[in-house]
Amino acid sequence: MAANDYRAYLRNHIDMEEAPARAPQTGSTHRALIFGTLTVMGLLQVASSVAILLHLTGYLREVDLASAQQSPNEEMHSETLIADPRDPRILKEKKERCRQKKDTRMPSAHLPIKASTSFSISMQDRNGLTMIHWDVDQGSLKKIAYQDGRILVNESGYYYVYAHTCFRYAEEHDSYKEDVSNLQLFQYIYHESHTQSVIKPVILTKSGGTLQWNIPNIEYNMYCVEQGRGVHLKKGDGIFVNVSNAWLLDPAAEGTYFGTFKISD
């Protein structure tokens, strides 16, 4: 009995001596685990700080934009290489590009009188009207045509039409020996509608007057008429100018001219 108690005492004593030896191993393991955890947390914190800094400087956003812009270009380039020109989608895109490139200028025209035109004196000139012909080479036409004294509209819309004519009697007219003491100097702007079966010109404006020039006492005489108005014109319509006593017209471009420009649809 005493021997058994002694052996038990020895066994318990040995266990107590071995226990402190195992304790230090467990403590070192815990310290390694804590150190590793702190290291990982530190690295994560550093990575987060770097990401926030890059975001604030806009670097990430620039990279994203650059990649986003590069990708569609690459895709479009690859599609262009393999696209069939007869593909309806390709044809539609071409039509859209052509529509966008369409001339957006408003139609307009400004034409001076033809200086080379010589109007002779006749009964028709004295008592009737003469159509003025204009110089296209010295004038300006934008999306508008000209033919035989007429400005022709290519686009329907509301236009402003104007005309300015100057009549003058100078020394070079003395050879005509005409009585100019009582002259009727008138200007008419006409509108021809080509949408009608019968083309009948309509007077848009009329202006002028009767003058009494005293030629023996005055060597140079001039009288100018200017008028204009708005009018709705359809595609193909024409406008032109008639005057009385056309042989007295001033051939200077700044004295006699005719024009129009589109205001709205």
Q: Which token pair is 163? A: 């005309």
Distances (CA, A) of 245 to 131, 241, 242: 11, 13, 10
pLDDT given at position 78: 46
Give percent of the chain above pLDDT 90: 36
Question: Tell me: the pLDDT tens digits for 121-146?
Answer: 554 445 579 999 999 999 999 999 99
Question: Tell me: the pLDDT tens digits for 220-231?
Answer: 788 999 999 999
pTM attached to this predicted model? 0.59
Domain ranges of the chain: 2-84+89-99, 108-264
Query: Any idea which fold 108-264 has?
Result: Jelly Rolls (2.60.120)
Q: Is 125 exposed, middle or buried (0-12, 13-18, 19+ CB in 10 A)?
A: middle
Distance between CA atoms of residues 260 and 241, nearest Å: 12
Distances (CA, A) of 211 to 6, 119, 167, 205, 208: 159, 20, 11, 20, 9
